[in-house]
């Protein structure tokens, strides 16, 4: 099977990218899929779930700034089948490399020598920076988490334009798997306000994620929702989302 590389992207902050990336990666690993979770965000929230980013010697910073092989940065997690390509705040220093002609291709090149994975899940920062561009250039698919209460039409337009130009110029195989609506407080908001707008831009997954304290608690406990609260509504919703995504990707 060809590796599915899924960029979890939305340039707005707090939309549920990191939560979705983490739980998607754990869900895949628990299904026996060999998975690499790539933290493309200098905020390093994903990395922080597994270790203290400040103590890591080799991270994506070294891959981006010094051409270190990705293999040197990847660490095995305590979860069977799950590996992490960690980030740390110093990654922000290389953001200015956007002027370099090779800049958009660093992640794609680095992933070529990382070994065989069934899935690579990339958590993106809340910007259309060179890091998001790297993710979209490397990816086979995009998933767009969109927060139910605060989504923005301007944001959707910008993201769609960026995806389309990367598809046209650099990565013709890139496909938008769809948008997943997160942090839903009331279903009526979803059906009346969110769906009609978001679906003008992207296919919207039928599965969506409701707001619940279990998610924030799981981050504090540094666990996936499956390990922190396996019986929670959100654990079931993330499983439904995973199954819907897999059937769409025929994986
Ligand atoms: N389903 C949910 N229910 C309740 N809280 C949630 C849910 N999903 C995410 N959150 C919370 O919302 C906040 C933002 O989520 P998250 O970090 O996943 O978003 P993000 O898009 O990665 O943010 P950033 O743009 O800063 O990287 C976090 O505090 C998280 O705990
Ligand atoms: Mg995040």
Instruction: Write out the residue range of the structural domain in which residue 109 sits.
Output: 4-249
Ligand 1 contacts (CB < 6 A) are 13-19, 41, 43, 45, 126, 182-183, 209, 211-212, 215-216, 219, 234
List, in order, residues 6 or more apart from 177 with CB less than 8 Å away. Answer: 6, 141, 142, 143, 203, 245, 248, 249
As given in the structure block, the two tokens for residue 140 are 């086979």
Residue 190 confidence (pLDDT): 78
The whole-number pLDDT of residue 151 equals 67
Q: Give the residue, out of 10, 91, 215, 218, with the most ligand 1 atoms within 8 A of its beta carbon, to mutate for a pocket test.
A: 215
Alpha carbon of 57 to ligand 1 centroid (Å): 27
Give the residue, out of 7, 8, 13, 14, with the most ligand 1 atoms within 8 A of its beta carbon, to mutate for a pocket test: 14
**Which residues in the chain land under pLDDT 70?**
98-99, 150-151
What six digits make up the tokens of 196? 């009609």
- Torsion angle, alpha carbons of 168, 173, 174, 180, to 10: 130
Q: What is the rounded CA–CA span in Å between residue 132 and residue 44?
A: 14
- Angstrom distance (rounded) from CA 24 to CA 27: 5
Ligand 1 center to 14 CA (angstroms): 5
What kind and span of H or E run contains 35? strand 35-39
Number of structural domains found in the chain: 1
The enclosing domain of 161 has a CATH number of 3.40.50.300
- Residue 125, SS3? coil
Which among 198, 147, 197, 139 is positioned nearest to 163, based on CA atoms? 139
How far apart, in whole angstroms, are the C-alpha atoms of residue 120 and residue 165? Answer: 22
**pLDDT tens column, 112-171:** 999 999 999 999 999 999 999 999 999 999 999 998 776 677 788 999 999 999 999 999
pLDDT at 183: 93
Return the pLDDT at 217: 98
- What is d(CA 83, CA 73) in angstroms, rounded to the nearest whole number? 10
Print burial letters for 76-90: b (CB count within 10 Å at least 16), e (below 16).
ebebebbbbbbbbeb
Ligand 1, atom nearest to 234 Cα: 1
């Amino acid at each position: 099977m060809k590796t599915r590389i899924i960029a979890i992207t939305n340039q707005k902050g707090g939309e549920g990218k990191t939560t979705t990336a983490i739980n998607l990666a754990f869900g895949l690993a628990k299904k026996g899929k060999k998975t690499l979770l790539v933290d493309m965000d200098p905020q390093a929230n994903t990395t922080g779930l597994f270790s203290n980013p400040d103590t890591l010697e080799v991270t994506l910073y070294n891959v981006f700034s010094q051409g270190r092989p990705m293999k040197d940065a990847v660490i095995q997690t305590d979860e069977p089948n799950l590996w992490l390509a960690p980030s740390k705040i110093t990654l922000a220093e290389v953001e200015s490399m956007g002027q370099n002609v090779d800049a958009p291709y660093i992640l794609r090149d680095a992933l070529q020598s990382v070994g065989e994975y069934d899935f690579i899940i990339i958590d993106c920062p809340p910007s259309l920076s060179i890091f998001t561009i790297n993710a979209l250039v490397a990816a086979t698919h995009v998933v767009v988490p969109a927060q139910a209460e605060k989504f923005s039409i301007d944001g959707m337009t910008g993201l769609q334009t960026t995806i389309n130009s990367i598809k046209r110029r650099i990565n013709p195989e890139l496909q938008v798997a769809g948008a997943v609506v997160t942090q839903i407080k009331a279903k009526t908001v979803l059906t009346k306000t969110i769906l009609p707008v978001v679906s003008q831009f992207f296919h919207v997954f039928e599965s969506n994620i409701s707001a619940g304290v279990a998610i924030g608690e799981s981050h504090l406990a540094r666990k996936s929702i499956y390990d922190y609260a396996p019986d929670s509504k959100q654990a079931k919703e993330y499983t439904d989302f995973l199954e819907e995504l897999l059937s769409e990707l025929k994986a």
